[in-house]
Amino acid sequence: MTVAKTIVWFRQDLRIHDNPALLSAVDAGDILPIYILDDVNSGDWSMGEASRLWLHQSLASLNESLNGQLCLFHGDAQTVLIDLVAEFDATAVHWNRCYEPWRIGRDKKIKTQLSEQGIEVNSYNGSLLWEPWEITKKDGTPYKVYSPFFKRGCLAAANRIRHVLPAPKNINYLALPQGFALRSLEELSLTPSIAWDDGIRKAWSVGEDAAHDRLQRLIDRRLEGYKKGRDFPAMDSTSRLSPHLHFGELSPHQVWFQVLQSDPINEEDLSHYQSELGWREFSYYLLYHWPQIPDQPFVPKYKAFPWRSDKEGLQQWQQGKTGYPIVDAGMRELWQTGYMHNRVRMIVGSFLVKNQLIHWQHGERWFWNCLVDADLASNSAGWQWVAGCGADASPYFRIFNPLLQSEKFDPEGEYLLRYLPELKGLPKKYRHKPWEAPSDVLDQAGIELGKDYPVPILDLKVTRERALSSLRTMNDQLAAEQ
């Protein structure tokens, strides 16, 4: 009996548990596990620096799980795979599907070329609970609104979610040809170009084991207070599983079923958490059916929106120097840890696209480079949601007031002080708006506004009216053209 020689192409599934491509390949015969950093086909969406830092550590973890047999490559995935098939005389290639437009196009070409050469190609679902093409309205068209997508589409098909698969018991690896050199992680050039990674390393444990530990913490807590607590950035109420899910150190199937089996204290908390997993699915669903959303507004009329060009204002936002503490704390959390609390993401997003009137794509790009959970689907959908031009988006005229948000969701200023320690000497009532503190209070706190902490770069009331006026101008212009 001839033993199959199978290449297992790891992508966004850096784990050995619940990995359908890996399990199927191991069952078939000997494997060559590989990872390809493809900066050729990704174009404008090559992985950002924070993601590369995470990837470096995640690949190291995966390689350890594979007994040091993971082969690393950098370049055009199609060229790499064709060469490997020839060199190892492989009979099959297995991978788990990805859903970014550039990956779909590339993978189709690879599958066609390999199939024409008589190579068996098998792809699997290792990243989503529901395939995007499986959930449609009764007329066969895709959903554009989240609630019916999740309740009528996804939950109605909950029985179709595949169950969690075991890790392979024994893996037989293909022997490497003489002279075949394994590329080191360092050769992939995943370390950042500037020294900003210490905070990220301290903030996260990376890899499959770390992902399971994080999930176990959520289960041990039994989702207690999740629905309410997830809005308060100072509280440890969110799952913080997003980077583990993005890199596939954990599958959504593992999360879904383990949470269901964890006997949550409150059904509302469970339902709300399932709904948050649903939003991840919805983002991928939108990207699959409307692949233009990373670059174009989902609602076409917003192409005519009169955005401002403000290089200085954009830099002040990026650096956390707007003078509004909740915005600055969020932007500094992003820079220091590669992450930002979800509530704060909405606040800083609204500030950029509404108060500053800067195009949402500038925010999308900054997040892409700085987030360890930078996900093309979620990042694009999230920014379009905030900007009012996405599917089922928050209306543009809904403008978050950062002061009210800060006072409501961080009443003690704990989150603010975590990232803005220069404000620690201020009484609680002035932490959210230090410019209102009397001069003697500022002196006592050792703060000189404009030196130790910025003065506000804009007036919230004035810029709110400007944003609404811009919206009216766009609508009036479009109406006149009809």
Strand partners, 71: 34
Which domains does the chain carry?
A: 4-125 (3.40.50.620), 128-162+208-289 (1.25.40.80), 300-481 (1.10.579.10)
**In 10 A of CB 131, how many CB atoms?**
17
Catalytic residue, from 122, 279, 369, 475: name it: 279
Q: Give the active site residue among 45, 102, 290, 383.
A: 383
Q: Provide the residue-wise pLDDT of the chain in tens; the chain has 482 residues.
A: 567 899 999 999 999 999 999 999 999 999 999 999 999 999 999 999 999 999 999 999 999 999 999 999 999 999 999 999 999 999 999 999 999 999 999 999 999 999 999 999 999 999 999 999 999 999 999 999 999 999 999 999 999 999 999 999 999 999 988 777 778 888 887 877 666 778 898 999 999 999 999 999 999 888 888 999 999 999 989 999 999 999 999 999 999 999 988 876 788 888 999 999 999 999 999 999 999 999 999 999 999 999 999 999 999 999 999 999 999 999 999 999 999 999 999 999 999 999 999 999 999 999 999 999 999 999 999 999 999 999 988 888 899 999 999 999 999 999 999 999 999 999 999 999 999 999 999 999 999 999 999 999 999 999 999 999 999 999 999 999 87
Given the residues 196, 307, 435, 475, select the one marked as catalytic. Answer: 307
Active-site residue flag, 379: no
| Pair 98, 127: CB distance under 8 Å | yes
CA atoms within 13 A on the CB side of 385: 19
Q: Which residue out of 122, 131, 196, 276 is catalytically annotated?
A: 276
Out of 95, 204, 360, 385, pick the active-site residue. Answer: 360
Q: What does DSSP say about strands 92-96 and 120-124: parallel, antiparallel, or unpaired? A: parallel
Sheet of 4-10, strands arranged across: 71-74, 29-37, 4-10, 92-96, 120-124
Helices (H) then strands (E): counts for the chain:
21, 5
Question: What pLDDT score does 181 carry?
Answer: 72
Q: What is the pLDDT of residue 326?
A: 98
Whole-number pLDDT of residue 440: 95
The 10s digit of each residue's pLDDT in 443-482 is 999 999 999 999 999 999 999 999 999 999 999 999 998 7
* 196 labelled catalytic: no
For the question of residue 131 being annotated catalytic, the response is: no
pLDDT at res. 105: 97
pLDDT for residue 222: 82
Q: Which of 342, 369, 401, 475 is catalytic?
A: 342
Per DSSP, what are the bridge partners of residue 37?
A: 74
Say what the pLDDT of residue 409 is.
97
276 a catalytic residue: yes
Nearest in space to 373 (alpha carbons), one of 239, 229, 254 = 239
> The pTM is what?
0.95
